[in-house]
Chain A
Amino acid sequence: MSVLDRTRRRPGAIDGPVNVLLVEDNPLDARSTLRAARKLELADRVDVVSDGQAALDRLRQARADGVPVGLLLLDLNLPGKDGHDVLRELRADPDLQTTPVVILTSSVEQADVNGAYQQGANAYVNKPTGLDGWLEAMATIREFWLSLAILPRR
C-alpha cells in the first residue's frame, strides 16, 4: 500500500486536497522540491513564489478565491521581506494566522530556529542535500502534514 493510498483515506482529506505554497528564491532548491513533489504525485498541489511579498499576496489571493493554502513551506533567507517577516505578518493576520508553516532553510543558526518557533512556525526543517534527500524530506512532509496531521479548515 503506497503512502498516497493512505492519504486518500485520511479524514483530513474529506474537503479535498491540501494546497501547498513553497516560498523559495533559489531556483535549484525550488526545482528540487518540485521534482521531488512530482515524483510523489504532489505536483499539482504545490505552487511556488520566490519572495516574501509575493508569498503574502498569494496567500491572500488564494483565500479570496476560495482555495486557501493549507501548508506553507517557507525559506528564511529571501530577498526583500524575509521568512521571519512573512511569518510575523502571517501570524498577525486574522484570516491567515492558522496556516501551518514549515520552515525549510539551509540555516542551522540557533537564533533562526528559536526565532522561527517564537514567531509561530510549526516545524523547522533543514534543506536536504541531494535529490534523494529532497525525496525523503518531501515524503516525510506529505506523510505527516498532508496525511497524519489534521489541519485547520474553514
Chain B
Amino acid sequence: MHHPATGADREPDRQPDARDLWQAVLRTAVDPIIIIDQDGVMAHVNEATEQLFGYEADELIGRNVSSLMPEPHRSAHDGYLQSYLVTGEARIIGIGREVEALRADGSTVPVALAVSEIKLDGRSWFTGILHDLTKRHLVEAELREAKHGLEERVRERTAQLETSMVELSRSNRDLEQFAYIASHDLQAPLRNVRQGLELLDDHLGETLGQHFDDEANELRDLTVAAVVRMEEMIDGLLSYSRLERGGEPTQNLVDLRLLAEEVIDQMRPELIRVGAIVEVEKLPTVSGDEIQLRQLLQNLLENACKYRDPERSLRLSLDATEGDEGMWQISVGDNGIGIEAEQRNRVFDLFRRAHPGYEGVGLGLAICQRIVERHGGDIWIESGPNGGSVFNFTVPGPTRVPSGTET
C-alpha cells in the first residue's frame, strides 16, 4: 500500500555504511557469535553471547574461550588450536558439531557450534557461531518419550492379548471339560428317570391290568421317547467331548481307501437295505487318527443313507484331489435330498438338524467338523450334480507326518 501500484521503479532508501550494517547484524544476531584469535582469546562477542552465557561482553573479551566449555574440552582446547595450527587438520573448523557450552552459573547448554577461519594480515582468527539446541533437545526428548510410551503401550497390549488368548484357550478347555462332565454325570439321573418310568409303568400295568387307557399309553410313550432322545443327546455330547479329551489326534499314516472299504464293509447290510451303489475312486494315504477318520467317513456315509431320495436308488461316490500345502481334499457325494444353501454352514453346529422328520439329535456333522478341524483341515458342503450333496473335507497328506513316524 505504501508503494504505488504502477510498478514504477522506486527511489532506494538511503544506504547506510556497509561496515555499520554488518556490525549491527553481528551485534543483534539471534545466535551467539564469538571471534577468537589464534591463541583462543576472545576478541569480540555479540549480545546473544551475553544472553546465552550470562556474562557481560567485557567480562569475556580478553579471556580464553575455553572458559566457556566444560571439562574435558576446557583443558584440551588450547591443544586443539595448536594441533590445528601445526597440522592443519580440522576437527571442528569448517565442520561444526554439537557441543556443551558452560554458562556463568555453572550450568551447561547444548549448542550446535560452527567455526570458520579468517586470515587477516597473516594472522588467523576464528569465528564461532552457536545455536542453542535446548528447545530441539526438548522436542527430541518428547518424541523419544512418546515413541517409548507407544512402544510400552504396544508391549502392554500385546501382553494383554496374550493373556486373553491364554484365558480363552483355558476357558475353551474348561468348556470342553464341562461338556464332558455334564454329559457324563447327567447320565445317571437320566437313567433313574427312565427306570422310574418303567417301574411306574410296570406297577400300573400290574395293578390296573388291562385298564390302561389309550391316553395313558400315549403319555407314557411320549415321555419315554423324550427320555430316549435325551439319552441320545447325552451320548452324542459325550463322544463329541471325548474327541477333545483324547488330546491331539495321533498322526499315523492312514490308507483312506482301505479305511473306506472297511467302513463300507461294516455298513454293507444297511447299504444293501437302501439299495446303494458306492463308487470309490483312488483315495490317498493321509496322516491322521485312524479311529477319528473312520468315524468321519462312517458319519458321512450314514448321513447319505439317511437322507437319500426315496424316489431313486442311492448313488455314493468317494473321490480325492490333491490340494495346496500337502493337503488332500476328499469328497463324499450323493444323489440324496440335498441341503438348502442357507443350511449348509449351520448343519455343522451342535444339535442342528437340517431336515425335520428324521431321527437323530444333530451331532453327526458337528463331530465330523471337530474331527476335521483337529486334523487342521476344513469341511464344507456343495450341491451335487443331481440335487444331492457333496461333502468335502481336507486332511494332511503323508508328507506332513513329522519325521520319524513316516515309513
| A residues with CB within 8 A of B | 26, 28-29, 31-32, 35, 106, 129-131
Expressed in whole angstroms, the Cα–Cα distance for A131 and B188 within the complex equals 16
Question: Which of B188, B194, B201 is close to A106, meaning CB atoms less than 8 Å apart?
Answer: B188
Interface string of B172-196 (1 = CB under 8 A from A): 0000000000000000100110111
Expressed in whole angstroms, the Cα–Cα distance for A28 and B192 within the complex equals 6
Could you say which residues of chain B place their CB within 8 Å of the CB of A130?
A: 194-195, 198
For the complex of A and B, list the 9 residue pairs with the smallest distance between their C-beta atoms, beginning with the closest: A28-B195, A131-B198, A28-B192, A28-B196, A131-B202, A32-B195, A31-B199, A130-B198, A35-B199
**Most chain B beta-carbon contacts within 10 A, residue among A26, A28, A129:** A28
Expressed in whole angstroms, the Cα–Cα distance for A129 and B199 within the complex equals 12
Expressed in whole angstroms, the Cα–Cα distance for A131 and B196 within the complex equals 10
Given A28-B195, A130-B195, A131-B199, list of 17 further CB < 8 A pairs? A26-B188, A26-B192, A28-B192, A28-B199, A29-B192, A31-B195, A31-B199, A32-B195, A32-B198, A32-B199, A35-B199, A35-B202, A106-B188, A106-B191, A131-B198, A131-B201, A131-B202
Could you say which residues of chain A place their CB within 8 Å of the CB of B198?
A: 32, 130-131
Expressed in whole angstroms, the Cα–Cα distance for A29 and B191 within the complex equals 9
Chain B, range 356-399, C-beta contacts under 8 Å to A: none
Expressed in whole angstroms, the Cα–Cα distance for A130 and B196 within the complex equals 10
CB closest chain-B residue, reference A39 = B202
Expressed in whole angstroms, the Cα–Cα distance for A28 and B194 within the complex equals 10
Expressed in whole angstroms, the Cα–Cα distance for A26 and B201 within the complex equals 19
Could you say which residues of chain B place their CB within 8 Å of the CB of A35?
A: 199, 202
Chain B, range 184-223, C-beta contacts under 8 Å to A: 188, 191-192, 194-196, 198-199, 201-202
Secondary structure call for the B interface: helix
B400 to chain A: closest CB distance in Å? Answer: 34
Could you say which residues of chain B place their CB within 8 Å of the CB of A28?
A: 192, 195-196, 199
Expressed in whole angstroms, the Cα–Cα distance for A29 and B198 within the complex equals 11
Expressed in whole angstroms, the Cα–Cα distance for A129 and B194 within the complex equals 9
B106 to chain A: closest CB distance in Å? Answer: 84
Could you say which residues of chain B place their CB within 8 Å of the CB of A26?
A: 188, 192
Could you say which residues of chain A place their CB within 8 Å of the CB of B196?
A: 28
**Contact sample, A vs B, 27 pairs, CB 8 Å cutoff:** A26-B188, A26-B192, A28-B192, A28-B195, A28-B196, A28-B199, A29-B192, A29-B195, A31-B195, A31-B199, A32-B195, A32-B198, A32-B199, A35-B199, A35-B202, A106-B188, A106-B191, A129-B191, A129-B194, A130-B194, A130-B195, A130-B198, A131-B195, A131-B198, A131-B199, A131-B201, A131-B202
Could you say which residues of chain A place their CB within 8 Å of the CB of B201?
A: 131
B390 to chain A: closest CB distance in Å? Answer: 39
Could you say which residues of chain A place their CB within 8 Å of the CB of B195?
A: 28-29, 31-32, 130-131
Could you say which residues of chain B place their CB within 8 Å of the CB of A32?
A: 195, 198-199
CB closest chain-A residue, reference B195 = A28
Expressed in whole angstroms, the Cα–Cα distance for A28 and B189 within the complex equals 10
Expressed in whole angstroms, the Cα–Cα distance for A56 and B322 within the complex equals 67
CB closest chain-B residue, reference A131 = B198
Could you say which residues of chain A place their CB within 8 Å of the CB of B194?
A: 129-130
Interface string of B267-292 (1 = CB under 8 A from A): 00000000000000000000000000
A70 to chain B: closest CB distance in Å? Answer: 27
CB closest chain-B residue, reference A27 = B192
Expressed in whole angstroms, the Cα–Cα distance for A63 and B169 within the complex equals 58
CB closest chain-A residue, reference B199 = A31
Could you say which residues of chain A place their CB within 8 Å of the CB of B202?
A: 35, 131
Expressed in whole angstroms, the Cα–Cα distance for A130 and B202 within the complex equals 11
CB closest chain-A residue, reference B201 = A131
Could you say which residues of chain B place their CB within 8 Å of the CB of A129?
A: 191, 194
Expressed in whole angstroms, the Cα–Cα distance for A129 and B195 within the complex equals 8
B186 to chain A: closest CB distance in Å? Answer: 13
CB closest chain-A residue, reference B202 = A131
Expressed in whole angstroms, the Cα–Cα distance for A106 and B187 within the complex equals 10
A60 to chain B: closest CB distance in Å? Answer: 30
Expressed in whole angstroms, the Cα–Cα distance for A80 and B52 within the complex equals 91
CB closest chain-A residue, reference B224 = A130
**Most chain A beta-carbon contacts within 10 A, residue among B188, B191, B201:** B191
CB closest chain-B residue, reference A36 = B202
Expressed in whole angstroms, the Cα–Cα distance for A129 and B198 within the complex equals 10
Expressed in whole angstroms, the Cα–Cα distance for A35 and B192 within the complex equals 15
Could you say which residues of chain A place their CB within 8 Å of the CB of B191?
A: 106, 129
Could you say which residues of chain A place their CB within 8 Å of the CB of B188?
A: 26, 106
A148 to chain B: closest CB distance in Å? Answer: 28
A82 to chain B: closest CB distance in Å? Answer: 15
Expressed in whole angstroms, the Cα–Cα distance for A35 and B204 within the complex equals 13
B63 to chain A: closest CB distance in Å? Answer: 97
Expressed in whole angstroms, the Cα–Cα distance for A32 and B193 within the complex equals 12
A98 to chain B: closest CB distance in Å? Answer: 33
A37 to chain B: closest CB distance in Å? Answer: 13
Expressed in whole angstroms, the Cα–Cα distance for A26 and B194 within the complex equals 13
Expressed in whole angstroms, the Cα–Cα distance for A129 and B196 within the complex equals 11
CB closest chain-A residue, reference B196 = A28
A19 to chain B: closest CB distance in Å? Answer: 24
Expressed in whole angstroms, the Cα–Cα distance for A29 and B195 within the complex equals 8
CB closest chain-B residue, reference A135 = B202
